[in-house]
Structure 1
Amino acid sequence: MADENVETATLTGDVTVRYEDWAGLTVPVVLRRNFTIAGTSARPPTLDMGFVKGKVQLAPGTTLTLRRLVLTNSRSGSINQAPGLDLLVPLRPNDSAVIRGEQSYLLWSACFPLELAV
């Protein structure tokens, strides 16, 4: 993502994102181009986002595409209350960008308060 010449990251196996992966980079990494993270295998690889927060900023008008992936640990808290990815820095008011999923799965834990679950 940090290399401006790369538009697609191809995952051939499962990947876990960690805070130490961003050491030495100026963060947030600003994506000023469309960027795709894609799996290639018959079984979509798992991209475990590790609940890493605030490392990437989408520039206005850009698209982040997640293709043929299983995405886990991408949002702390309730994804129903605040959809998005923790990895991304919120956009400024009136700016817009797109997170697009293609042939992908988004897994998250759903935990209800005990009085509602019983």
Structure 2
Amino acid sequence: MESKMSEQLTEHLRGKGESGLLDLIVELHQSDPEATAPQSQTENIAALKETFRRNVARLEETVRRIGGEVTGRAWINQTIRVRVPADKIDQISSHDEVAKIDLPHTLERDFSK
């Protein structure tokens, strides 16, 4: 099974160890827009928001249970920002909804296109 942790996060954990709290970005698998057939853009946005809300509910519960907190949500790119104990990351990555876990970083524009 491929690791859901980014290379940067894996390297960070190797260098710093698994102690203390870490701020992380948890990316969820993108929901299938054809799974629901809304009629308008407004309905489509509402459906995406509702799907995101449902998909993160169990994950947010896990974050709180392991002593962490949710510090941000972004339905538009299907991510949540969390602060969790470093030694509990595996409990987050075990969720089927999780596609990738990474350290926060500045987004950079892709000039290759």
TM class, shorter-chain normalised?
under 0.3
Structure with the bigger percentage of strand: 1
Q: State the TM-score, normalizing by the size of structure 1.
A: 0.22
Higher RCO (CA 8 Å, separation ≥ 6 residues): 2
Q: State the TM-score, normalizing by the size of structure 2.
A: 0.23
Structure with the bigger percentage of helix: 2
